[in-house]
Structure 1
Amino acid sequence: MAISIGIAKKDRETVAKHLSKLLADTYSLYLKTHSFHWNVTGPQFTSLHAMFETQYNELWLAADEVAERIRTLDVFAPGSYSQFGKLSSIKEEAGVPEWKEMVNQLVEGHEIAAATARETIKAADAAGDEGTADMVTGRLKEHEKTAWMLRSLLR
């Protein structure tokens, strides 16, 4: 059955490309945060271990929400490490940095994801896709808030 939600196919595909980048950033940030949860050490261990767990759980749910929005637009969502690696702007961390560097990297990651969200909102607005703009606005606010909370640990 053909999709008829009031957004042209070309516009849905454009928005889905932006959402795919947001999905890749979200998933990459999820993986990094989960790794840091497992591997954090130092005097801040207990608080960071718990904070990272809360954050990676939120990111896991967010990835599903973003992927399902892509499917709502009748476009297939990326779902492999290689696809995410090509789409994401978040740098992979193969090592285990000390806790302050973990926090720095997560601040940077959330700021990158916030910037990706802003670009996605612009594309959604241009396409008249209020559903995507609304969902991504929530993601933007969450990334900005998480970056602020993490940044506060470093002051």
Structure 2
Amino acid sequence: MKLLSPENKGKIADILIKLLADEHILYLKTRNAHWNVEGPDFQTIHVYFESLYNELQIVIDDVAEKIRQKDVYAPATMKEYMQLAHLSEERKTENKDSLSFIADLLHDHEVIIDFLSEAVVEIEAFHDISTSDFLVGLLEQHQKTAWMLRSHLR
């Protein structure tokens, strides 16, 4: 097994840092949905959103630790995240019903899915099997969540 060069570790860390920023933005948007959703399905959706942000909390920690494994410090401020993220903290609508929040969160999961799909291919070129495998696991997790969110909208 060939060790990664410091340059390649840095390139991989850059990808992971962008992912960390996106995951943080998604986490905050999911917390917002949990706190502010209204409607006849409040209790069910409130609990569902809580399960989603709890999952994201673990993802965020795992991504940050993966960055540190590349000998790079993980960014930890909202200012940095906003500069690095593909996602925006803004919502598409100000409606507080579950379907509006679900549509927003679905969009963001799909953005992360696209990013992860490209990142896996890019990282495989560096022959970093463990990071590639880690990202494939996250990709599957986001795909499953997107499917569940999409199912709510049908």
TM over 0.5: yes
Q: How does 1:3-152 map to 2 (within 5 A)?
A: 6-93=3-90, 96-98=94-96, 99-152=98-151
The Cα RMSD (Å) is 1.4
Q: TM-score, normalised by structure 2?
A: 0.93
Q: TM-score, normalised by structure 1?
A: 0.92
Segment of structure 1 superposing worse, 5-14 or 63-72: 5-14
State how far apart, in whole Å, the 2-side matches of 1:129 and 1:135 are.
Answer: 10
1:96 Cα deviation after fit = 4.7
The answer to whether the 8 Å contact 1:14/1:123 transfers is: no
State how far apart, in whole Å, the 2-side matches of 1:123 and 1:20 are.
Answer: 14
Percent of pairs with identical residues: 40
State how far apart, in whole Å, the 1-side matches of 2:32 and 2:39 are.
Answer: 15
Give 5+ residue unaligned stretches, structure 2: none
Runs of 4+ in 1 over 4 A off after TM superposition: none
Number of corresponding residues: 151
State how far apart, in whole Å, the 1-side matches of 2:14 and 2:108 are.
Answer: 19
1:119 partner amino acid: E
- What does the per-residue CA deviation read over 1:57-98, in whole Å, with 9 as the maximum and x for residues that have no partner? 000110000010000011111111011001111121378532
Give 5+ residue unaligned stretches, structure 1: none
State how far apart, in whole Å, the 1-side matches of 2:99 and 2:34 are.
Answer: 13
The answer to whether the 8 Å contact 1:25/1:90 transfers is: yes
State how far apart, in whole Å, the 2-side matches of 1:80 and 1:120 are.
Answer: 23
